Chains A and B, each alone.
Chain A
Amino acid sequence: MPTIDMSKTELREVNATLQSAAGTQATEAYVLENPRGSHAVAVGLNGPLDVTVKGSTGYYCAGMNKDATIHVEGSAGPGVAENMMSGTVVIDGDASQYAGATGHGGLLVIKGNASSRCGISMKGIDIVVHGSIGHMSAFMAQKGNLVVLGDAGDALGDSLYEARLFVRGSVKSLGADCVEKEMRPEHLEILADLLARAGADAKPEEFKRYGSARTLYNFNIDNADAY
């Protein structure tokens, strides 16, 4: 198993090595040691590569990931897995702001808590947070699923489009145009699958579903008070 010591290796070399390995469909798993909160670690991977990061990362870890599986054995700074296209990213600790921002696909698992704006503008990614999430999460979220085993902060799902939000705990407040919705069998099925893939010990029936009321989809001056 190739190991890269980030205390002795430049970031460019680290990412170039991983990007090259991912691009050649390498079957080896890589380990990154001593990330020391570095930014932009394991970004732009473009193939089914396994990467384990032994420690915490800074901004944008696993950014624009495509097909790779990245496991951070620590916490992640802002924008982890931003704009992810596919693959899997697992954070053992907490995640800072904007986790999974604008992600188009793949699965992001945060085993601790996620800060504000988790899943902002998400476009198809699935995010499972074992703990709680901060305010303004899923702001303008377009597609995909956000699953929260703990609580959600203020203004959940503000100006939401078609993303589905599942919260097991309390929701401090819902944002504009976000409403609680009926949990139908197909939603329980989606939830069960995501919980299983995220290794989460929870039952789908314990969650509530939130989604868009779709009243703000076309601009109407009579809705001006909503903003």
Chain B
Amino acid sequence: MSTPTTEPRQSWTFSKETNSEIRRAAATGIYDIRGGGAKRRVPHFDDLLFLGASISRYPLEGYREKCDTSVTLGTRFAKKPIELKIPITIAGMSFGSLSGRAKEALGRGATMAGTSTTTGDGGMTEEERGHSEKLVYQYLPSRYGMNPDDLRRADAIEVVVGQGAKPGGGGMLLGQKITERVAGMRDLPQGIDQRSACRHPDWTGPDDLEIKILELREITNWEKPIYIKVGGARPYYDTALAAKAGADVIVLDGMQGGTAATQDVFIEHVGQPTLACIRPAVQALQDLGLHREVQLVVSGGIRTGADVAKALALGADAVSIGTAALVALGDNDPKWEEEYQKLGTTAGAYDDWHEGRDPAGITTQDPELMKRLDPEAAGRRLRNYLNVLTLECQTLARACGKSHVHNLEPEDLCALTMEAAAMAQVPLAGTNWWPGKPGF
């Protein structure tokens, strides 16, 4: 009779995944670089629930009564604010990181759904301008491709201070994606790594930024809404300072927000979850008397109409999607599983966007791979997805008795966990309390 043995036990601390990273680091001597946002589990919108209407609230009829979704961005100073049919915009993603066809698809889908898309680093492409009825032109530290003509062709200008995947970090587009066209737009030689700086070259703080915004407004006749995009680091102060600097719109990107490429350690260990960023940002605007006058756009991990509705209920004016939009176009589609396997990954986990070998033909500059994406069909998929997000958001808003999605409020929510209750400042389910609530 053999002696009983215990099952081999894997360490939680030194998990298989952790050990594989140690072995990879030991073999290569370099940190892991990847695309996307934080993959770790963090408190998120899933940890919130809508209460819905009952005796104390009455709902709107789901298929008959109107629930408005329109939003106007840039009402503070700009002569020509942007009017959108839906409160969901497409986040900035660079040409260079994405193919021209992918940018075209984003423009097509966004336009059909009645919303805007955003350029990204590397300048404005004809594919995107031509197919985007409303296009936000990012003003980034690198200033690749920046010129006054495109500035005037834009519908809004987004001064990018940071992004959720890497607050305080710049970017690097590796040489394998630097084709002749990408290199030409960025005024750099073909095939070399192109560094996108982590801070702007000609201003350093909020007082300088205020003057920079003055300059941009003077160049564009005060017509264009000026957005300021910040990563979710210190949302109260960053929001207050952006408003003080003169922003019309503040884009706040939590740590689940994606990037084309940066160090995994940066993505996973810097910044705050999107859920934790919204209330402090809204509070900052309320303290300044600017909530709704300066619009707040929240991004980072928005996937469903429920996420949209919850972000709005917490005080956002709109949300922005990046990763979800790429998935709608066809990114990480299981139909390419065989090719993902060849790259040592699997559908859903593919994140080496910087290497330019995307089987779905989206995050690549390879001419053959790019052909795999039909921009018209992909644009239709994005439109469909945006429509579903909107319908879902309306469904929830009507259930809460709201005739406009902006009428959703924190009072419509409860939280499933203590962490989410603390971050969202809504009651833990079954209680009237959240951690940090005044009076308790």
Contacts and interface: CB of A to CB of B under 8 A. Distances in A.
A210 interface: no
Interface of A is mostly: loop
A121 B143 contact: yes
Nearest to A11: B218
A216 to B, nearest CB: 8
B189 to A, nearest CB: 6
A102 B211 contact: no
B218 A15 contact: yes
Interface in A74-107: 78-79, 82-83, 85, 97-98, 101-102, 104
Interface residues of B, number: 35
A85 B148 contact: yes
A197 interface: no
B201 A101 contact: yes
A104 B187 contact: yes
Given A40-B214, A63-B219, A161-B189, A82 B202 contact: yes
B143 A123 contact: yes
A60 interface: yes
B147 A104 contact: yes
B394 interface: no
Interface in A26-62: 39-40, 43-44, 46, 58-60
A159 B148 contact: no
Contacts of B202: 60, 78-79, 82, 97-98, 101-102, 120
A52 to B, nearest CB: 19
Contact of A162 (B175, B189, B221): B189
B148 A64 contact: yes
Contacts of B211: 39-40, 58-60
A200 interface: no
Contact of A40 (B186, B188, B215): B215
- Chain A interface residue bracket vs B: 35 or more
B212 interface: yes
Interface in A150-174: 159, 161-162
Contacts of B265: none
B222 interface: yes
B187 A142 contact: yes
A19 B223 CA distance: 14
A219 B143 contact: no
A64 B147 contact: yes
Interface in B128-155: 142-143, 146-149, 151
A218 B219 contact: no
A187 to B, nearest CB: 18
Interface string B222-262: 10000000000000000000000000000000000000000
Contact of A121 (B175, B193, B201, B203): B201
A44 B29 contact: no
A64 B139 CA distance: 13
Given A44-B220, A85-B147, A140 B187 contact: no
Given A59-B211, A98-B202, A120-B201, A44 B219 contact: yes
A39 B215 contact: yes
Interface in B188-211: 188-189, 191-193, 195, 197, 201-203, 208, 211
A4 interface: no
Given A46-B148, A121-B143, A161-B188, A40 B218 contact: yes
Q: Ordered nearest first, which 8 A-B pairs have the shortest CB separation?
A: A44-B219, A79-B202, A102-B143, A217-B192, A98-B202, A40-B215, A123-B187, A64-B148
Interface of A: 11-12, 15-16, 19, 39-40, 43-44, 46, 58-60, 63-64, 66, 78-79, 82-83, 85, 97-98, 101-102, 104, 117, 120-121, 123-124, 139-140, 142-143, 159, 161-162, 217-219, 221
18 contacts: A12-B218, A16-B221, A43-B218, A46-B149, A63-B219, A64-B219, A78-B208, A79-B203, A83-B143, A83-B147, A85-B148, A98-B202, A104-B146, A121-B143, A121-B201, A139-B201, A142-B187, A221-B28
